[in-house]
Amino acid sequence: MYCYSRIKDLREDKDLVQKEVAEILNITTQQYSLYERGDREIPFHHAITLANFYHVSLDYIAGLTNNKKRN
């Protein structure tokens, strides 16, 4: 699935470590790592938080579009 590689790419583009993003989501670093690896599905509310934080659309995170901009 695209969303797992997309959230990793977005994090790396901002020069953040997993711990920093985990703190934004109020979860453990281990739990966030599971999301990035695709071992655990990302809850919708976390996907929304990440889309808002990175200023991208949910469609981009989900891999439905390559356009990062929100409408």
Tens digits of residue pLDDT in 3-36? 788 999 999 999 999 999 999 999 999 999 999 9
Write down the H helix ranges in the chain.
Answer: 2-13, 18-25, 29-37, 44-54, 58-62
DSSP label of 43:
P
pLDDT digits 0-9 by tens, 29-60: 999 999 999 999 999 999 999 999 999 999 99
**Tally of CB atoms within 10 A around 30:** 9
pTM to 2 decimals? 0.90
Alpha-carbon distance of 17 to 45, in angstroms, equals 21
CB 24 within 8 A of CB 14: no
Q: What is the pLDDT of residue 2?
A: 57
